[in-house]
Amino acid sequence: MKRKLTKTEKFLIITVILVAALYFYVNKFYDPAMTKLNNSRQSAVALQSEINQLGGYGGEMMLEKKSQQSS
């Protein structure tokens, strides 16, 4: 014959299950998504700095001017 669980034991079991579910969610879903987001942000920053080095949005025109000046 099994004894019934007390309210405290039920609460602790639910708490352990919730903590385990949160741990699983963070490690399997949230962290990989944040890693991808950070990688995307870093590549966007790198592209923006490259665009700025080429002279803004008219980078092709700036390259043509530089090549004409060096010729």
Q: What is the pLDDT along the chain (71 residues), one digit of tens a residue?
A: 789 999 999 999 999 999 999 999 999 999 999 999 999 999 999 998 888 888 766 556 666 666 666 65
Chain-centroid distance, C-alpha 44: 13
Backbone angles phi, psi at 4, to 5 degrees: -80, 150
- Per-residue HEC secondary structure of the chain comes to CCCCCCHHHHHHHHHHHHHHHHHHHHHHHHHHHHHHHHHHHHHHHHHHHHHHHCCHHHHHHHHHHHHHHHC
pTM of the predicted model as reported, rounded to 2 decimal places: 0.53
Write down the domain spans for the chain: 30-71
Backbone angles phi, psi at 2, to 5 degrees: -90, 145
What is the reported pLDDT for 64?
A: 66
